[in-house]
Chain A
Amino acid sequence: MAESKKSKEPRGKVFINSELCKGCGFCIEFCPTNVLEFSNTFNSKGYHPPAAARPENCTGCDLCGIYCPDFAIFGILMKAVA
Chain B
Amino acid sequence: MEPKNPVVDYLRMDRIPHIWCPGCGLGTVVNCFVRAIKTCDIPRDLISVVSGIGCTGRMAGYLKLDSFHTTHGRPIPFATGLKLANPKLKVIVCSGDGDLFSIGGNHFIHAARRNTDMTIICVNNFTYGMTGGQVTPTTPIEAIASTTPYGNTEEPFNLSHLAESAGAVYVARWTTFHVRQLIKSIKEAVQKSGFSFVEIISPCPTLYGRRNKLGDGLEMMRAFKEKSTVRNGADTREVGLDFKGGIVCGKFIDRERPTYLERYNERMTARLGASYKPYEGVL
Contacts and interface: CB of A to CB of B under 8 A. Distances in A.
Touching in the complex, A and B, CB below 8 A?
Answer: yes
A14 B3 CA distance: 10
A71 B18 CA distance: 10
Given A66-B183, A70-B17, A26 B28 contact: yes
Interface in B1-36: 2-3, 5-8, 11, 16-18, 20-28, 30-32, 35
A74 B6 contact: yes
Contacts of B180: 66
Contacts of B183: 66
B244 interface: no
B250 to A, nearest CB: 19
A22 B22 contact: yes
A63 B31 contact: no
Contacts of B60: none
Contact of A69 (B8, B28, B216): B28
| A contact patch SS | mixed
A31 interface: no
A67 B218 contact: no
A69 B26 contact: yes
Interface in B39-56: none
Contact of B23 (A24, A62, A74, A80): A24
A81 to B, nearest CB: 6
B179 interface: yes
Contacts of A29: 218, 221-222
A22, A24, A30, most chain B CB atoms within 10 A:
A24
A69 B35 contact: no
A25 interface: yes
Interface string A32-64: 000000000000000100000000000000110
Nearest to B22: A22
Contacts of B5: 15, 17, 65, 71, 74
A70 B2 contact: no
Contacts of B35: 66
Contacts of A62: 6
A17 B18 CA distance: 15
19 contacts: A20-B16, A22-B23, A24-B217, A25-B23, A26-B218, A29-B221, A65-B6, A66-B31, A66-B32, A67-B31, A68-B31, A69-B24, A69-B27, A69-B30, A69-B31, A70-B17, A70-B27, A71-B5, A74-B3
Given A69-B27, A71-B8, 14 more contacts: A22-B17, A22-B23, A24-B217, A26-B221, A29-B222, A62-B6, A63-B179, A65-B6, A65-B31, A66-B180, A69-B25, A69-B30, A70-B17, A70-B27
